[in-house]
């Protein structure tokens, strides 16, 4: 067994072009050969499996080995994806746009990919510099490309990176879905089986996109909400969370006519180390502490925060009852406000959200006579809702301009929120007032989440199996009305490893594994007669769910 993994590791080392990961791997091999049990265990962790290519592309920790993100793995992925595109295109020459953010090795992985795409005879176009993920999603459609690749791990921990794939043509610039993921993965496996990265053709004959692509994104996004008179004097704070959002957003603000924000200086420049946050995710506890400090010092009215690749948006407002005087709105609160905004101007079409997002969006759609769709989690599904005019998911993702970008876009969402705030200011109101009006109009919806992070992902599977084998009869003191297992959902309905639990008082609990992190998540949704009633119902459901998950682990 030891010789087997050592042989695999030596074969990997022979094709690794990266001095850092090859030195890392060489040292591990030498230690394992000398009898170091910890080094041998590390090699097994790196080589007993490989990062799976799926509908989310690739994502994992940086390092040597097939179970890490590195130049060998990315090279194999690029060659496999190129083969898939050539097969899909037939006699035509496919084109692919490549973008990258500020994470470690993002630029290296992007250039490797562009060279391999060009070497495979594709028209490869590299974006001019590190840019937000929404710019890449925009560029696929704007340039009429066959596909796009974004090198990013979004809001994952600092040592991670990833490879996100989009398709043009009939897919209209959306992220891949099944069966494309399996077909691409099969091509990647064929390349990997040859274990010879150096034999993959490369070419420096790729294009570098001009600034006109970014200019076009800026113009289109500024039109989401040109600044009304109420924007004058708006005092607000912005953080890029050490990511790439600030430069592009600044240009859009100037074009649209909004005042520049006070920025969180320690987080405004791209820095793949993410030195001020444990997790560069605005949802994580402590991630927005510096924003709150800056807002208190500036006497601000609003905080907006992008995640590192700027495809998500967090919003915070002053709240005397909150610790430190500021409250970050939930993704559902922002999602319903932006859904209300979209519904007011839509004459037809669909409001869409993921199945784990607030049912309040359906109430808004029905109020305005619009269609509604609930999809599996992820904008690869939301963006494909027929007649889409707006989509969101509770994890801070919003799609406000589907005619421009078919993916979540934290920058266009920021412009839309600024528009809402500025319009409210003209009437002497705040974003908090809009939240109150929304609740009075559509219902007092409240949402929460119970998240269980694990070291061993097999624990998640055991919990899901336990819940299926012995479904709960009640959550707290409220009886279960029905349970839907989406693994066995009817044809045409969303299918996945998801349990939906409906309670007799109308509350809802959805349990599913996270698609990007080692977590089991339970999403809680209630509707009350008042804000206080909704909060009480939510607290009771939260306590009941925690008891159920604890019992399922034993």
d(CA 452, CA 251): 40
- DSSP annotation of 489: P
423's torsion region: left (phi>0), alpha (psi -120 to 50) or beta? alpha
Please state the length of the chain: 554
Q: Out of 66, 154, 357, 438, which one is annotated catalytic?
A: 154
Tokens standing for residue 399: 């799609």
Torsion sign across C-alpha atoms 465, 471, 477, 478: positive
- First CA to last CA across the chain, in angstroms? 33
d(CA 231, CA 241): 24
d(CA 456, CA 435): 40
Cβ of 37: how many Cβ atoms within 10 Å? 10
What three-state secondary structure class fits 471? coil
d(CA 198, CA 188): 15
Q: Beta strands 350-354 and 371-375: pairing type?
A: parallel
d(CA 447, CA 356): 10
Peptide bond before 179: cis, by omega within 30 degrees of 0? yes
Tokens standing for residue 334: 């922002």
d(CA 244, CA 224): 20
d(CA 216, CA 551): 54
Secondary structure string (H, E, C) spanning 225-247: CCCCHHHCCCCEEEECCCCCHHH
154 is known as an active-site residue: yes
What three-state secondary structure class fits 28? helix
The secondary element (H helix, E strand) that includes residue 438 is helix 431-442
Q: How far is CA 446 from the centre of its chain?
A: 22
Active site residues: 154
């Amino acid at each position: 067994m030891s010789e087997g993994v050592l042989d695999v590791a030596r074969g990997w080392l022979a094709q690794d072009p990266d001095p850092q990961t090859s030195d890392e791997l060489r040292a591990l091999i030498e230690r394992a050969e000398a009898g170091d049990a910890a080094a041998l265990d590390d090699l097994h962790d790196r080589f007993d499996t490989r990062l799976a290519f799926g509908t989310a592309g690739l994502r994992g920790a940086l390092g040597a080995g097939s179970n890490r993100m590195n130049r060998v793995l990315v090279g194999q992925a690029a060659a496999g994806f190129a083969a898939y595109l050539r097969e899909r295109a037939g006699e035509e020459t496919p084109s692919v746009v490549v973008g990258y953010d500020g994470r470690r090795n993002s630029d290296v992985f992007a250039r490797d990919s562009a060279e391999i795409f060009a070497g495979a005879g594709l028209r490869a176009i590299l974006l001019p510099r590190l840019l937000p993920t929404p710019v890449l999603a925009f560029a696929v459609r704007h340039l009429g490309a066959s596909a796009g690749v974004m090198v990013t791990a979004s809001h994952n921990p600092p040592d991670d990176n990833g490879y996100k794939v989009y398709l043009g043509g009939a897919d209209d610039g959306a992220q891949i879905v099944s069966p494309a993921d399996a077909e691409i993965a099969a091509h990647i496996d064929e390349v990997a089986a040859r274990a010879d990265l150096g034999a993959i053709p490369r070419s420096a004959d790729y294009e570098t996109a001009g600034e006109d692509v970014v200019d076009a994104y800026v113009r289109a996004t500024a039109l989401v909400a040109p600044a009304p008179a109420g924007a004058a004097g708006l005092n607000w704070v912005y953080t890029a969370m050490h990511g790439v959002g600030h430069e592009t957003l600044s240009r859009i603000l100037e074009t649209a006519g909004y005042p520049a924000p006070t920025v969180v200086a320690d987080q405004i420049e791209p820095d793949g180390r993410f030195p001020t946050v444990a997790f560069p995710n605005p949802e994580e506890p402590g991630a927005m502490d510096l924003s709150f400090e800056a807002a208190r010092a500036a006497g601000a009215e609003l905080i907006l925060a992008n995640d590192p690749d700027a495809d998500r948006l967090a919003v915070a407002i002053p709240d005397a009852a909150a610790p430190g005087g500021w409250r970050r709105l939930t993704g559902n609160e922002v999602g319903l406000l932006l859904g209300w905004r979209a519904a007011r101007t839509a004459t037809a079409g669909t409001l869409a959200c993921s199945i784990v997002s607030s049912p309040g969006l359906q109430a808004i759609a029905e109020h305005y006579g619009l269609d509604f769709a609930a999809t599996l989690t992820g904008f690869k599904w939301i963006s494909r809702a027929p007649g889409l005019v707006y989509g969101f998911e509770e994890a801070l993702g919003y799609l406000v301009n589907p005619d421009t970008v078919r993916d979540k876009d934290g920058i266009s969402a920021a412009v839309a929120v600024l528009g809402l705030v500025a319009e409210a200011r003209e009437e002497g109101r705040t974003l908090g007032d809009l939240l109150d009006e929304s609740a009075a109009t559509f219902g007092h919806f409240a949402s929460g989440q119970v998240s269980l992070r694990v070291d061993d992902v097999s624990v998640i599977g055991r919990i899901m199996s336990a819940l299926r084998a012995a479904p709960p009869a009640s959550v707290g003191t409220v009886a279960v009305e029905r349970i839907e297992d989406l693994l066995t959902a009817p044809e045409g309905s969303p299918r996945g490893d998801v349990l939906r639990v409906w309670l007799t008082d109308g509350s809802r609990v959805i349990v599913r594994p996270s698609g990007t992190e080692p977590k089991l998540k339970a999403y809680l949704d209630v509707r009350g007669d008042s804000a206080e009633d909704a909060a009480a119902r939510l607290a009771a459901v939260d306590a009941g769910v925690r008891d159920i998950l604890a019992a399922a682990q034993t």
